[in-house]
Structure 1
Amino acid sequence: MSPRPASRRAVTVADIARAAKVSKATAARALGDYGQVSDAVRSRVLAAAEELNYRPNALARSMNTGRSNTIGVVVGDIENPFFAHAMRGISDVASAAGYDVILTNSDEDVEAEEAAVDVLLDKQVDALIVAPASSAHVSHLTDVAAAGRPLVLLDRRADGHRYDSVTVDNRTAAARATAELLAEGHRRIAFISTQPYPEPAYSPGGTITMSSVADRVDGVMEALTDAGIPSPERGIRLDARRRGVDVVTRELLEGDTPATAIIASDSLIAMTVFQTVRTLGLRIPEDVSLIAFDNADWTSITTPPLTVVEQPIYELGAAAARLALQRIRGERVDDESVVFDAALIRRASVAAPTPASATH
């Protein structure tokens, strides 16, 4: 076996300086675009850098300029299509402005989120965009402000703190989805979320630590209460990630008074609900109606296609990036909360409950 060829030594600022016949300090100023350098010298230095295929040291540049031209992002679950679409919006806006994006995943765990924030601060990112795993446990986010870094919250708020945020009007969206089911005659309407919850059953007024889910539960409860549905909290199911979405779905559909309609808090939950309904030998929408938050690609090609609450996810991410860039450039002083509306897209997964299911 022939020996591996030695790796080529990285081109340094000193190499550029020798090639351009200038001092190392002058070459550094020209390459970093700071300080006083004549146009003629800058052109000579840049030409030498191009000829030698120089790759700038991002860390050194950030130490000189105080900017890394990067935005750090912490999301809850990179497998969730919601965050994939939001990241595209963030990346497109950041890239157009000359910024790179560093993505980290918290797995919806506060401790993992704290560690991710620390790592991004250590990397000297110019701003952070965070989808907080908990709206109640956000003390670590104050470290971002203490470090002088702009912070934008994505999809969720932070209780008791005023930060720039980009969210959706989840309460109105959930109430609209519930009203759609009520109008078809449903009275046993369930809502499923993977949001952790300390008690076996949800109680009205109970603390839900993620603002987006709390708002959706409020919207469902409000619509059911206004419709005169007794004990509407009976259909609220949280902590489905730990317990298993399939297990929770079976509980809702196999009990003495099975749900006739389910609202899934995201498209991944909806997929498992859809599969479980089929496994039980039930039909959508004849035996159970289903509405999903988020217009994931698969929801339009199933049989039947799902009625969904479509959030402007790309725009959500793009708006978060724009707020972060404005902060970096010092263009704003006051905190800003951007709230988007969501649209209900009607397809074929909602119908009136059959007499048998309604009276079961």
Structure 2
Amino acid sequence: MDQSPPRNTSVTVADVAHKAGVSKATAARVLGGYGTVSDRVREAVTAAARALDYRPNELARSMTTGRSGTIGVVVGDIENPFFSLAVRGITDVARQAGFTVILINSGEDVAAEKAAIRTLLAKRVDGLIVSPAKESDVEHLREAFRSGLPLALLDRGSDELDVDTVIADDRHAAEAVTCRLLSLGHRNIAYLTACDTPDHRFRTAKDINTGSVRRRIEGFLGACRDAGLTGMEQWIHVGAVTPEHTQRIAKGMLQSALRPTALIASDSVIGLEVFKVCRELGLSVPHDLSLVSFHDADWTSVTTPPVTVVRQPVYGLGETVAKLLVERLNGERQDARKVVLKTEIVERASTGEPIQGER
């Protein structure tokens, strides 16, 4: 008769070993994922663990293997659909590799990011994935990396850190969408971002600490220069950090004597607020304002008109950065890798030629 403990009791490694007909040490190697055993033994132990509904003691396993089975992830804004989808890509890969994700939101604040890193280090995570709030302030990340903790960067790289990095081709995407607006006849093209400066005014791309946005602005300005336009820095607006800030900035632009005929929103959260402001002011999209948004959020395809977007491989960004980190955690040694994923422009009905006389 099978003397295995019932499922409602705490099943131990010894119980699994007894049912599988192997030693406790052998069962521990299989269940802990270390050491070498034959395929037959591994299958027997795995089957026994499944039959007994064995649940590993994570604390005991971490003491044995020196690993916690967790990955720490720090992103700028978990309410932003961009980061939500990227984190989904991370967690899917992590789960398949046997890791649990601990997610912390920095609110795009460096001090909060530093506190998050300290918390994750205290929890002894096996690796870190971070989307840095300020790419010029990464000493805390460098220290974590120097301590031997595998680190990978999501969406935002840093020239000061030689670590695995996954980004999108933001500059090329901004160039392409700007050229599209220029070809339609637009010259008064605004760019609106949540990134900010001390006096809330944009002067140079070096003012922007978020690399992905900086690359987009560089692409925007580069396309304008190639078209013979100068002084386009005046059309870049910063500080759209909340819906209220975004609405105030958008209203100021759209009610001014020299208003834009086209606007590029640096993310879909900003794009949605601009769309709302247009409705509130009685402006027609695209007749009065051509609108383009980065990130193909769900709302962009169901509005009237649907919004032209730069579709970023958001899930792929998370998926890829997690795969790179898992490879490191599995012992692969190679130089730091930088992966750049392609974007695409999805043409919808929110762009058109500017009104005659406003070109």
- Normalising by the smaller structure, the TM-score range is 0.7 to 0.9
Instruction: Check conservation: 2:213, 2:266, Cα contact below 8 A.
Output: yes
Q: Where does residue 134 of structure 1 map in the other structure?
A: 134
Q: Deviations over 1:25-69 (max 9, x none)?
A: 777556435468899998998787667644222122112112223
- The change in CA–CA distance for 1:268 and 1:38 in structure 2 (over 3 A counts) is closer
1:162-215 per-residue CA deviation (whole Å, 9 max, x = no partner) reads 211000111111111111111111111000001121123211354211101111
Matched, 1:87 2:87: yes
Establish whether residue 300 from structure 1 lines up as the match of residue 263 from structure 2.
Answer: no
Which residue does 1:249 correspond to in 2? 250
- Structure 2 matches for 1:204-243, cutoff 5 A? 204-241=204-241
Q: Please list, as runs of the form range in 1=range in 2, the aligned pairs for 1:331-342 lying within 5 A after superposition.
A: 331-342=332-343
Q: What's the CA shift for 1:326?
A: 1.4
Q: CA deviation at 1:70?
A: 2.4
Partner of 1:345: 346
CA distance in 2: counterparts of 1:155 and 1:318, whole angstroms: 12
Q: Which residue number corresponds to residue 123 of structure 1? A: 123
Q: Secondary structure at the match of 2:296?
A: coil
User: Once the two structures are superposed, what CA deviation does each residue of 1:125-157 show, in whole Å capped at 9, x if it has no partner?
Assistant: 222111111111111102321331211100001
The one-letter amino acid of 1:55's match is R
Shift of 1:343: 0.7
Correspondence for 2:4? none
Give, in angstroms, the shift of residue 260 of structure 1: 0.7
Residues 71 and 127, structure 2, Cα contact 8 Å, conserved in 1: yes
Q: Secondary structure at the match of 2:207?
A: coil
Q: Structure 1 residue 103: deviation in Å?
A: 1.8
The code of the aligned residue for 2:250 comes to: T
The runs of 5 or more residues in structure 2 that have no matched partner are 1-7
Q: TM-score, normalised by structure 1?
A: 0.88
1:88 partner letter: R
Report how many aligned residue pairs link the two structures.
351
Q: Secondary structure at the match of 1:299?
A: helix
One-letter identity of the residue aligned with 2:234: R
- Which residue of structure 1 aligns with residue 112 of structure 2? 112
Q: For each residue in 1:296-323, what CA deviation from the matched residue of structure 2 results, as whole angstroms up to 9, or x when unmatched?
A: 1111111101111111111111110111
**Partner Cα separation in structure 1 for residue 65 and residue 28 of structure 2:** 11
Judged with a 3 Å threshold, the aligned counterparts in structure 2 of structure 1 residues 48 and 239 are, in CA distance, closer, same or farther, namely same
1:249-328 superposed matches below 5 A: 249-328=250-329
What do the CA deviations read for 1:259-278 (whole angstroms, capped 9, x no partner)?
A: 11100000110000000011
| SS of equivalent residue, structure 2 residue 241 | helix
- TM-score of the pair, normalised by structure 2: 0.88
Pick which of 246-255 and 53-62 moved more.
53-62
Once residues 307 and 41 of structure 2 are traced to their aligned partners in structure 1, the CA distance between those partners, rounded to angstroms, is 63
Structure 1 residue runs of 5 or longer lacking an equivalent are 1-7
Distance 1:92 1:51, change over 3 A: closer
Q: Conserved in 1, the CA contact under 8 Å of 2:205 and 2:217?
A: no
Alignment deviations for residues 311-341 of structure 1 (CA, whole Å, 9 cap, x no partner): 1111111110111011112223201100112
% identical equivalent positions: 50
> Compared with structure 1, are the counterparts of its residues 145 and 288 closer, same or farther at alpha carbon in structure 2 (3 Å cutoff)?
same
Amino acid at match of 2:56: P
For residues 216 and 255 of structure 2, the distance between their equivalents in structure 1, rounded to whole angstroms, comes to 25
C-alpha distance in structure 1 between counterparts of 2:250 and 2:108, whole Å? 22
CA shift in 2, pair 1:265/1:25, >3 Å: same
Partner of 1:4: none
Structure 1 residues 214, 24: CA separation in 2 closer, same or farther (over 3 Å shift)?
same
Q: Does 1:100 align with 2:100?
A: yes
Q: Which residue of 2 aligns with 1:5?
A: none
Alignment of 1:168-187 (within 5 A): 168-187=168-187
CA distance, structure 1, for counterparts of residue 164 and residue 60 of structure 2: 30
Which shows bigger deviation, 39-48 or 315-324? 39-48
Structure 2 letter corresponding to 1:349: S
Letter in 2 for 1:171: R
- 2:287 partner amino acid: E
Give the match's secondary structure for 1:240.
coil
Q: 1:25 to 1:139 in 2, by over 3 A?
A: same
